[in-house]
């Protein structure tokens, strides 16, 4: 991670009531958590509720599932302020954006397009859940908190809180990277390394 910015990002989104269809509905970001890391050091943490533009009233399902209250979101920043903040954090530098799953960046891109604002990040995107799946050979994608518990650890704070989930994503990233280094193939040993020929010759002398 030397001299390179990593942004660990998690968003929470709006969702409709189960079994209902709302014309024109699309998921909107209502909470953002961002952790900026350089040289193995956390440089910046950002957390905020975000006011949805198109459908500002949260569904009961959304409030229940995410444990977010309407008045918390109502006091949040606008989506435009969020995009501006993300641009400031990125500082226009190439970076690696790390998320658990691919929905966060899909929703952000869609929200930016519909709001008529440019996508705020420049850099590569890493879906850590797929990296985790490939690394451990799992058939199915593992949930964020299940993954950290499989490492014998606990997630940071509360699940489905954006900053806590971003910090937990960073925690898993460090664990996976450590395992990758550990499992890198060492230089193959020669037969001379494995057999002490002096002892062998003495045995038959």
Rounded Cα gap, residues 38 and 203, in angstroms: 57
CATH label of the domain that carries residue 122? 3.30.420.10
pLDDT (mean) for 82-96: 91
How far does the chain reach from its first CA to its final CA, in angstroms? 55
**Res. 148 pLDDT band, cuts 50 70 90:** confident
Name the average pLDDT for the chain.
87
Residues with a known catalytic role: 12, 160
Question: Does position 103 have pLDDT exceeding 90, yes or no?
Answer: yes
Count other C-beta atoms under 10 Å from residue 159's C-beta: 15
Count other C-beta atoms under 10 Å from residue 139's C-beta: 5
**Res. 181 pLDDT band, cuts 50 70 90:** confident
Query: Which residue would you say has higher pLDDT here, 155 or 22?
Result: 22
pLDDT at 139: 65
Query: Which residue would you say has higher pLDDT here, 191 or 103?
Result: 103
Q: Which domain holds residue 153?
A: 5-204
Whether the CA torsion 60, 63, 67, 68 is positive or negative: it is negative
pLDDT (mean) for 156-177: 91
Helix ranges, the chain (H): 60-66, 70-74, 79-90, 103-115, 128-136, 144-150, 162-183, 191-194, 197-204
Model pTM? 0.84
Rounded Cα gap, residues 46 and 44, in angstroms: 7
The SS3 call for residue 64 is helix
pLDDT (mean) for 90-118: 94
> What is the domain count for the chain?
1
**Res. 41 pLDDT band, cuts 50 70 90:** very high
Whether the CA torsion 190, 195, 198, 200 is positive or negative: it is negative
């Amino acid at each position: 991670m030397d001299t390179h910015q990593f942004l660990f990002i998690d968003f929470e989104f709006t969702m409709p009531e189960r079994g209902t269809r709302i014309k024109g509905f699309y998921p909107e970001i209502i909470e953002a958590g961002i952790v900026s890391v350089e040289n193995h050091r956390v440089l910046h943490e950002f957390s905020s509720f975000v006011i949805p533009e198109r459908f500002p009233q949260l569904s009961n399902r959304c409030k229940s599932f995410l444990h977010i209250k309407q008045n918390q979101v109502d006091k949040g920043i606008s989506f435009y302020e969020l995009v501006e903040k993300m641009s400031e954090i990125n500082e226009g530098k190439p970076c690696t954006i790390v998320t658990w799953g691919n929905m966060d960046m899909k929703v952000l891109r869609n929200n930016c397009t519909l709001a008529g604002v440019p996508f705020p990040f420049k850099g590569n995107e890493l879906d850590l859940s797929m990296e985790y799946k490939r690394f451990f050979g799992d058939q199915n994608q593992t949930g964020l908190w299940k993954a950290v518990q499989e490492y014998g650890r606990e997630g940071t704070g509360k699940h489905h809180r954006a900053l806590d989930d971003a910090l937990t994503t960073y925690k898993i990233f460090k664990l996976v990277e450590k395992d990758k280094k550990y499992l890198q193939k060492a230089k193959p040993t020669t037969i001379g390394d494995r057999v002490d020929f002096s002892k062998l010759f003495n045995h038959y002398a």
